[in-house]
Amino acid sequence: MKNNRVTYIDRLKGLAIILVVIGHLLKTGETGLLYQFIYSFHMPLFMFLSGLVIFELPKWHKLCFKLTNYLFPFFIVGSLYSLFIDTNISFFFISAKKLGYWYLLVLGEFYLLLFIYGFFGQRNLKKDVVFALICYLSLFLACKYFPEDIVNGFSLNICYQNWPFFVLGFISRSPFIHKYDTYKNIVYTIALLMYVPFFLYWMHTGHAFVLQAYCAIIILFSLFHEREGCNSFVERKLAIIGRKTLDIYIYHSFFTHIVNFRELNLYLEHGENLIPEFVICLAFSLIIIALSIGVGIIIRKSALLSIVIYGLKKKSV
């Protein structure tokens, strides 16, 4: 089977999942600057990358494959986690954030939207943009007018918040977007100049979240893309982590739940010790990532458990 992985995307995914784990370790210090900085772009980056790796609109078999890959761990591991933290399973399903497992459900719903888009003929840039805007408006109206149980049950608010980042990645990988490559450096420069103002504006007003996240994504994507072909120690490790993001995502919560950072977070946040706070959280996050990858390796050794938890396997070609 041909390996279609792109190294710089794996590295970006590795960075994104490290930030996810750090963010969950910092959950007791939600007002801290480090927490706010990480949460300002880490899931938008993840969503952007999820759209970026889609080469073509999914057909029926691809849709089924992806839905099982996302929804099996969502239902199985998510339910086990709710039991692990002594929470009613019904709360897991009716809450919008799904105890942190919303990403899998939302990604499945986004794939369903792309599948529907496939019925409208050949893609082009204009049609992609119209499709993206129609979906965005539809999600907004659904959040506004659907019953709260449905909005929370299908995490529609989170879909609405993350659709702009997913669809940006999806459109960015389109073959017809390459004719605009000459503007890449201009876009990067604008993003670099505007990120801090947008971030500070969002911090103080709660507005412009999408704009500051777009700037962060463009900056990181440009820097990592430029390093494609380079092979430093850190980049190799990020790529390895990036290839295991599913295992890390679904298992890391079990470990972050038992790591009590409350007192340490409060102390570090109060003293504004950003560098020690980041270093300590990074060290713990790498340990948790290693443990999560290990759990995944053990489970995947069982053919039965591998299908039950991860869904259908891709056929060799």
What are the angstrom distances between the C-alpha of 201 and each of 162, 217, 223? 20, 17, 24
pLDDT mean over 172-177: 72
pLDDT mean over 37-62: 92
Percent of the chain at pLDDT above 70? Answer: 89
d(CA 104, CA 75): 9
pLDDT one-digit tens code per residue, 247-303? 999 999 999 888 766 666 666 555 566 787 788 889 999 999 999 999 999 999 999
* Backbone torsions φ then ψ of 260, nearest 5 degrees: -90, 100
d(CA 15, CA 136): 27
Beta-carbon contacts of 105 under 8 Å, excluding residues fewer than 6 positions away, are: 70, 71, 74, 98, 154, 155
pLDDT mean over 226-230: 88
**Residues 211 and 180 sit within 8 Å (Cβ to Cβ):** no
Residue 303: exposure state from Cβ atoms within 10 A (0-12, 13-18, ≥19): exposed
